[in-house]
């Protein structure tokens, strides 16, 4: 059986490898000049950056974690997380609720007092269950932690009002902190949150794309880069996939493309489906890579909730992940800026963005000044983060049902339109192959 996989990101490459191992003929159709999707990397002048935002390798899923580590074999480094939140000029321990003792005393009291008051009120049934993400944040953490960090950070990254976001997706992604950990944190006792990512792996060489390349190694000859799907139809029992110049026949089709792109190439899509798909919300992303002389702080990454600090919501330090990501005597910083079509960031020229980033990094004392900067680059990703607005579940259900009725599988972050991390993408690929052994 011949299986065509649309899209050569992490999900598509994993699907291709797993189906190939089961004896199927596969072809991966990728529109870009190189495969990898959001897990591509760039090496230039001795600096390696991940072009789809900072990626690390960790997972609660032991099977998926073992798979990723096995793919990398010896090409990996292990690190202990040292992550901060930049709050009012200070670097506070992440997660925020585990660094309360580092706040000013008034803020620390505000957070712990509101957390406990809120917890009691929830247990007494005095607070109604939340109906949106904004309400869920207060319901789970109390006014202090919500106001000082969670609400401003989430509104900065999503570029969307939290009152208009669903809360169905947060279970397991933003865990409710144990009350004893919050109290310990407030009085200065060491606690750790998100323990599944305290230690993480990263490729020693090649950036995160080294993981995708390792998965692709046995099936690389089946990957067709530069094939932009423009039409997808049926001819008898087979699918016909065209790019305007040639056609490929396949027995089964699995799409990892954004659903918006998929619907654009399918025939006879009802207008109401196009409206539902058009109403699915997402963010785009600018990644700014910066190479500097000397050292940077020993942080893994830093979250920045205050919009006055800078355009970016997250900064990572790839040179701390592996010694091969920067030349000797140099370090690297990767800055992530989310935006939506038509907003302020979308109107900026790329050199304006880089200039603003450098000014902000200097104000945060992460670089001494422009004279330390030896390399910069900027890259734009149209599809970066799925936004769960209040109409999300209704709209995505209509789209999924339509596509699946055409016999096309949907796997991956923007194909399923779910906020999936790397390990989730691999897990969904594994599950799909097990549930659909013939594609």
Residue 16 falls inside a structural domain: yes
Please tell me the pTM assigned to this model: 0.95
Quick count: other Cβ atoms within 10 Å of Cβ 437? 11
Name the domain boundary from 190, 219, 245. Answer: 190
Residue 112 pLDDT class (50, 70, 90 cuts): very high
Mean pLDDT computed over every residue of the chain? 96
Phi-psi group of 290: left, alpha or beta (phi > 0 → left; psi -120 to 50 → alpha; rest → beta): beta
Q: What is the mean pLDDT of residues 57-63?
A: 96
- Mean pLDDT across 349-374: 95
Total domains, the chain:
2
Query: Do 264 and 401 belong together in one domain?
Result: yes
Q: Average the pLDDT over each of 184-193, 219-228, 257-266, 417-426 and give the range with the smallest value.
A: 184-193
The alpha carbon of 207 is separated from its chain's Cα centroid by a whole number of angstroms, namely 16
75-111, pLDDT tens digit by residue? 999 999 999 999 999 999 999 999 999 999 999 999 9
The predicted-structure confidence for 64-81, as pLDDT tens digits, reads as follows: 999 999 999 999 999 999
Residue 197 above 90 pLDDT?
Answer: no
Please tell me the distance from the alpha carbon of residue 328 to that of residue 324, in angstroms, as a whole number.
9
What pLDDT band is residue 320 in, cutting at 50, 70 and 90?
Answer: very high
Q: Are residues 180 and 218 in the same domain?
A: no
Helix (H) or strand (E) holding 272, with range, is helix 271-278
- Residue 14 located in a structural domain: yes
Range(s) of the domain holding residue 420: 2-37+209-280+388-435
Q: What is the mean pLDDT of residues 4-24?
A: 98
Contact at 8 Å (CB) between 341 and 347? Answer: no
Considering the domain architecture, whether residues 165 and 251 belong to the same structural domain is answered as no
* Same domain for 132 and 179: yes
21/137 same-domain check? no
In a domain, 396, yes or no: yes
CA angle 63–172–188, rounded 5-degree value: 105
Task: Specify whether 183 is located in the same domain as 215.
Answer: no
User: Looking at the domain assignment, is residue 203 inside a domain?
Assistant: no
pLDDT of residue 193: 82
State whether 104 and 176 are in the same domain: yes
Domain membership flag for residue 409: yes
Would you say 384 and 283 are in contact if contact means Cβ atoms under 8 Å apart?
yes
Domain boundary (190, 224, 248) is at 190
Pairing of strands 25-30, 2-6: parallel
The CATH code of the domain that includes 407 is: 3.50.50.60
Are both 170 and 229 inside the same structural domain? no
Q: Could you tell me if residue 249 is inside a domain?
A: yes
Q: Is residue 153 domain-shared with residue 224, that is, in the same domain?
A: no
267 domain-assigned? yes
175 pLDDT more than 90: no
- 217 and 185 part of one domain: no
Asked if 7 and 156 sit in the same domain, the reply is: no
Domain annotation covers residue 376: no
Task: Indicate whether 270 and 395 sit together in one domain.
Answer: yes
DSSP-derived 3-state class of residue 434: helix
Choose the final residue of a domain: 134, 163, 190. Answer: 190
């Amino acid at each position: 059986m011949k299986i065509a996989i649309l899209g050569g990101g992490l999900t598509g490459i994993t699907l291709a490898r797993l189906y190939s191992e089961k004896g199927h003929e596969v072809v991966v159709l990728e529109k870009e000049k190189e495969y990898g999707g959001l897990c591509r990397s760039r090496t230039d002048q001795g600096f390696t950056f991940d072009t789809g935002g900072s990626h690390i390798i960790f997972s609660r899923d032991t099977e998926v974690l073992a798979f990723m580590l096995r793919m990398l074999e010896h090409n990996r480094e292990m690190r202990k997380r040292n992550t901060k939140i930049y709050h009012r000029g200070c670097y506070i321990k992440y997660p925020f609720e585990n660094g309360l003792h580092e706040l000013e005393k008034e803020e620390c009291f505000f957070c712990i007092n509101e957390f406990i008051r809120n917890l009691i009120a929830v247990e007494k049934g005095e607070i109604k269950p939340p109906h949106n993400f904004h309400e869920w944040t207060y319901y789970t953490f109390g006014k202090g932690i919500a106001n000082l960090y969670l609400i401003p950070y989430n509104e900065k990254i999503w570029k969307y009002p939290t009152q208009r976001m669903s809360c169905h997706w947060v279970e397991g992604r933003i865990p409710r902190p144990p009350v004893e950990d919050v109290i310990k944190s407030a009085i200065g006792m060491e606690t750790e949150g998100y323990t599944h990512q305290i230690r993480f792996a990263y490729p020693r060489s090649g950036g995160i794309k080294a993981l995708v390349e390792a998965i692709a190694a046995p099936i690389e000859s089946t990957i067709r880069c530069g094939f932009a799907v423009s039409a997808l139809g049926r001819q008898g029992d087979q699918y016909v996939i065209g790019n305007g110049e040639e056609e490929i026949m396949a027995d089964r089709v699995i799409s990892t493309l954004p659903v918006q792109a998929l619907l654009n190439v399918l025939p006879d899509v009802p207008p109401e489906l196009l409206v539902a798909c058009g109403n699915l919300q997402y963010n785009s992303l600018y990644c700014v890579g910066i190479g500097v002389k000397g050292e940077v702080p020993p942080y893994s990454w830093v979250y920045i909730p205050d919009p006055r600090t800078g355009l970016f919501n997250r900064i990572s330090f790839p040179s701390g992940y592996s010694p091969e990501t920067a030349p000797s005597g140099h370090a690297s910083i990767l800055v992530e800026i989310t935006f939506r079509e038509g907003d302020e960031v979308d109107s900026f020229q790329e050199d304006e963005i880089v200039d603003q980033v450098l000014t902000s990094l200097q104000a945060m004392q992460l670089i001494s000044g422009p004279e330390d900067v030896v390399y910069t680059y900027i890259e734009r990703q149209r599809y970066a983060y799925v936004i769960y607005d209040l109409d999300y579940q209704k709209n995505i259900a209509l789209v999924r049902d339509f596509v699946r009725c055409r016999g096309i599988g949907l796997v991956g972050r923007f194909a399923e339109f779910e906020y999936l991390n790397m390990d989730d993408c691999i897990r969904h690929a594994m599950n799909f192959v097990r549930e659909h052994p013939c594609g």
